[in-house]
Amino acid sequence: MSLAGMLSRRATGMGTAPWYRATSLPISTSSTSSKSISSQVRPTTRSSVGARITETRATAARPIAMFSTQLMMTNSTTSNRGLHSSPAKFGKEKNVDATTTAAAGEYARTDDSIQVEYPAESQLPASEPLTGAGGAVGKNRPPTLPTFSLQGKVGVVTGGARGLGLVMGQGMVISGADLAIVDLNKEEASRQAQLIVETFRKENPDSKRVPKVTAHYADVSDAASVEACIAEIIASHGKIDNLVTSAGFTENFEAIAYPIDRMRKLWGVNVDGTYLFATSVARHLMERKSKGSMVFIGSMSGSIVNVPQPQAPYNAAKAAVRHLCASLSVEWAKAGIRVNCISPGYMLTALTQKILDDNPDLKQKWTSLIPQGHMGNPEDLMGPVTFLLSDASSYVTGADLRVDGGYTVT
Ligand SMILES: NC(=O)c1ccc[n+]([C@@H]2O[C@H](COP(=O)([O-])OP(=O)(O)OC[C@H]3O[C@@H](n4cnc5c(N)ncnc54)[C@H](O)[C@@H]3O)[C@@H](O)[C@H]2O)c1
């Protein structure tokens, strides 16, 4: 449905159908909760105003938290959310009629009806290693600065079984590193480790060196799991030089309906997971008295507010990742450990592809806001991550490199 179409549905009182529909899928990253938000949050209070709002939304079976209903009742004389012709604000809107609000601010607001729950593992296709990404070693290899090489380094990538983490890991291998792939899904990580080595062999039949690529289980949000994983990697590879923290996920729900346990889970993976892996690798580097380089995968959402999908907890988590990077880069500079952040914009992974297949209007909306006019490909991160891990960036630390097609500069 087009944006205009959606707004007209809202105006006629039918406008509660979300672009994204909430499903009852279990969240694959959550060990504690397999319930959907819709099944956890229900309207519990009915009064004349509350009932009116509930009925308006009931057609699309949208969740309404009890306290949100109460808040709406408190503001009922000035703001009947769900009955407006445009997204309404709590509080008074003086001197503004319905015709004006339909256009004003329309493209710079989140839309509370958009809900996206992180899909189940089984709903996402597995990725394949890239071929022809520049890995061929030999006489036809174009010259490049030797400082970009990761030869002799051991890199770790969390969330490396799929999506951006997998492609960045492959970029590290192509640039000469050995690699430890860490993921909740160890089976897929093992399959990908094997495929990366096979792809390397095919593209480099004459290479004397074959990279060592291993797979390891960890729940990055769990301290004991992280410690065990790091110990396993060191036992297998002998050391760790580089870290990329890509394990993370997002969900889209209006903040007033986002249960606190889900938010804690989201922060646990995105923020605690980054912190736990970074500090554990830093301890190892300090014990070895060795230099190292880390890249945290943040998001442009850590610097801007995405529209129209509401995702306040994710945005705040990614802002935390960015500032954690800055803070640790200062704290660890004296130890020779560099810490940088990459903040991708909208990247076309299996996850985003699935969402956009169901919601083609959303892709149009997103790309209309990107100066380069298209979403990024995962391989667009291969160069930036190699640069930041390698000696080519030896005087770069605490930086946030935005790889977003120019989104955040407009
Ligand atoms: N795809 C995008 O458009 C985009 C944009 C900006 C930032 N990002 C960030 O990039 C990172 C990777 O995103 P993606 O699109 O590749 O996601 P993805 O879902 O395709 O891959 C994430 C991987 O992390 C793993 N994972 C999840 N929770 C984990 C946990 N607790 N412990 C260990 N592994 C865990 C998953 O199993 C999966 O393999 C995330 O941090 C995401 O927030 C993505």
Instruction: Give the end of a domain, one of 108, 141, 163.
Output: 108
Using CA positions, which residue lies closest to atom 41 of ligand 1?
248
In this prediction, residues 345-366 reach a mean pLDDT of 88
* Cα-to-centroid distance, 163 and ligand 1 (Å): 7
Catalytic position from the list 113, 127, 175, 299: 299
Atom of ligand 1 lying closest to residue 166 CA: 16
Residue 246 has pLDDT above 80, yes or no: yes
Q: What is the pLDDT of residue 350?
A: 86
CB-hemisphere CA count at 13 Å for 336? Answer: 12
Q: Is 162 in the pocket of ligand 1 (CB under 6 A)?
A: yes
Q: Is 82 in the pocket of ligand 1 (CB under 6 A)?
A: no
Whether 114 is covered by a domain: the verdict is no
Instruction: Give the end of a domain, one of 74, 108, 142.
Output: 108
The answer to pTM > 0.85 is no
Q: Is 344 in the pocket of ligand 1 (CB under 6 A)?
A: yes
Q: What is the pLDDT of residue 367?
A: 95
Instruction: Give the phi and the psi of residue 83 in degrees, each rounded to 5.
Output: -105, -5
Cα-Cα-Cα-Cα dihedral sign, residues 235, 236, 241, 244? negative
Residues 73 and 164 in one domain: no
Residues 76 and 156 in one domain: no
Q: What is the pLDDT of residue 185?
A: 97
DSSP secondary structure string for all residues of 12-66: TT-TT--SSPP--PPPTT-SS----HHHH-------HHHHHHHHHHHTTT----H
Whether 135 is covered by a domain: the verdict is no
d(CA 90, CA 108): 17
Residues 71 and 154 in one domain: no
Contact 292, 338 (CB under 8 A): yes
Contact 16, 56 (CB under 8 A): yes
Instruction: Give the end of a domain, one of 53, 77, 108.
Output: 108
Q: Does residue 318 have an active-site annotation?
A: yes
For ligand 1, pick from 277, 349, 362 the residue to mutate: most ligand atoms within 8 Å of CB.
Answer: 349
Q: What is the largest CA-CA distance in the chain?
A: 78
Of 85-89, 92-96, 308-312, the poorest mean pLDDT is in: 85-89
* Cα-to-centroid distance, 270 and ligand 1 (Å): 9
Residue 25 has pLDDT above 90, yes or no: no
Q: Does residue 207 have an active-site annotation?
A: no
- The residues near 138 (Cβ < 8 Å, ≥ 6 apart) are 204, 206
User: Quick check: helix, strand or coil at residue 163?
Assistant: helix
Q: What is the pLDDT of residue 26?
A: 33
Whether 115 is covered by a domain: the verdict is no
Instruction: Give the phi and the psi of residue 349 in degrees, each rounded to 5.
Output: -110, 175
Residues 196 and 323 in one domain: yes
For ligand 1, pick from 28, 246, 306, 343 the residue to mutate: most ligand atoms within 8 Å of CB.
Answer: 246
Q: Is 218 in the pocket of ligand 1 (CB under 6 A)?
A: yes
Q: Does residue 346 have an active-site annotation?
A: no
Residues 310 and 196 in one domain: yes
Residues 191 and 273 in one domain: yes
Whether 77 is covered by a domain: the verdict is yes
Whether 133 is covered by a domain: the verdict is no
How many domains, the chain? 2
Residues 238 and 366 in one domain: yes
In this prediction, residues 319-340 reach a mean pLDDT of 98
Q: Is 376 in the pocket of ligand 1 (CB under 6 A)?
A: no
Whether 269 is covered by a domain: the verdict is yes
d(CA 277, CA 258): 27
Q: What is the pLDDT of residues 100-158, one digit of tens each?
A: 566 788 888 998 888 888 888 888 888 888 877 766 655 567 788 999 999 999 999 99
Q: What is the pLDDT of residue 405?
A: 98
The residues pairing with 95 across neighbouring beta strands, listed in sequence order, are: none
* Cα-to-centroid distance, 156 and ligand 1 (Å): 15
In this prediction, residues 219-235 reach a mean pLDDT of 98
Residues 67 and 156 in one domain: no
Whether 140 is covered by a domain: the verdict is no
Whether 142 is covered by a domain: the verdict is no
Atom of ligand 1 lying closest to residue 247 CA: 24
Using CA positions, which residue lies closest to atom 13 of ligand 1?
164
Q: What is the pLDDT of residues 253-272, one digit of tens each?
A: 999 999 999 999 999 999 99
Token reading at 248: 């993370």
Average pLDDT of the chain to the nearest whole number: 80
For ligand 1, pick from 162, 233, 264 the residue to mutate: most ligand atoms within 8 Å of CB.
Answer: 162
Instruction: Give the phi and the psi of residue 269 in degrees, each rounded to 5.
Output: -75, -50
Q: Which domain holds residue 335?
A: 150-409
* Cβ-based neighbour number of residue 402 at 10 Å: 22
Residues 79 and 157 in one domain: no
CATH of the domain at 322: 3.40.50.720
> What spatial distance separates the first Cα and last Cα of the chain, rounded to whole Å?
26
